[in-house]
Copies of this chain bind each other. A is one copy, B any other.
Amino acid sequence: MNALVYLGPGKKNLRDCPKPTTTNPTDAIVKITRTTICGTDLHILKGDVATCQVGRILGHEGVGVIESVGPGVATFKPGDRVLISCITACGRCDSCRKGMYSHCSTGGWILGNTIDGTQAEFVRIPYADTSLYRIPAGADEEALVMLSDILPTGFECGVLNGKVAPGSTVAIVGSGPIGLATLLTAQFYSPSEIIMIDLDDNRLEVAKSLGATAVVNSSDGAAAEQVRKLTGGRGVDTAIEAVGIPATFNLCEDIVAPGGTIANIGVHGKKVDLHLEKLWSHNVTITTRLVDTVSTPMLLKTVQSKKLDPKRLITHRFKLASILEAYDTFSKAAATKALKVIVEA
């Protein structure tokens, strides 16, 4: 079958690979119909993800059809249409029993990382009963690809951890796909203000169209000041970090109001300065989280009931045969205005 294979830092190619088979009784083989590319895939290609070895099929998002199941799979049968979670959960270990699937002792984020992933014609999904979700009849499958990772990530790591609430004031630092997914799901809780902050005016325009009440271009270094102005000097109840570098985390420290929360989503490669000499008395909460995808069933319901339209994040579409072009478009987002790209298998 065709698959996109990681070949070491800076290198990848579409190759012919053996079709996967069920190796454990709880495995399912899924025929991919649509997948997408994540910022994390670009991290891997930079060589930043040590756990991902040369030869790995990339990708941890997608929808498809059950091709076959092992004898231990109870919930699905061949022909079922399914959403693939980016997080694999055994459902049995201490972490899974607490709903912290991201730290499943034999799962977590393994797809397209320590086992072969979804940018292929077929993929093997371990613990299928607890790592796949049935797609409701009549659902728009393309929209649901956004539920593999980006929407639960924005929602769980940003909105839930950030305690976004009716009437509250929110700033989201970073208006890329993940920041925008956070913006969409923050609106579940009717905050009064959602201020989007980014360096790219195009992305800020998109943010406005998706519900931001104010936007701030931070390229002049005065973002904190502008946020204070927008909030009557008070700062925000919730500051969400959706980039992953020290400068954006520090901005969150600057703009969070006493009693507020900084919810980190970004994947960080370096330590940051935590200004406890100021914050020790500010009654703030700082959270980190690798998405658990515990909210996937709820998100499916909000898509079905039209409270959420994830398709608005999709800007480009490609065939699997053109996935290298898809990568190119996705990685040059400033020029291509790409948010999420759909790859049809």
Main secondary structure of the interface of A (DSSP, over half): loop
Q: Which residue of B lies closest to A100 (CB)?
A: B259
Q: Which residue of B lies closest to A267 (CB)?
A: B280
Q: Which residue of B lies closest to A308 (CB)?
A: B190
Contact of A192 among B213, B282, B302 (CB under 8 A): B302
Least CB distance, A247 to chain B, in whole angstroms: 13
Contact B91 A91 (CB under 8 A): yes
The reply on A110 being an interface residue by CB < 8 A is no
255-311 of chain A: CB within 8 A of chain B:
258-259, 264, 266-277, 279-290, 292, 294, 297-299, 301-302, 304-305, 307
> How far, in angstroms, from A164 to B285 measured CA to CA in the complex?
16
What B residues does A187 contact at CB under 8 A? 190
The reply on A130 being an interface residue by CB < 8 A is yes
Contact B289 A283 (CB under 8 A): yes
Contact of A276 among B165, B193, B272 (CB under 8 A): B272
What B residues does A166 contact at CB under 8 A? 188-189, 298, 302, 307
Contact of A258 among B95, B259, B271, B302 (CB under 8 A): B95
The reply on A244 being an interface residue by CB < 8 A is yes
Interface residues of A (CB under 8 A from B): 25-26, 71-72, 74-75, 90-92, 94-100, 102-103, 129-130, 165-167, 187-190, 192-193, 213, 244, 249, 258-259, 264, 266-277, 279-290, 292, 294, 297-299, 301-302, 304-305, 307
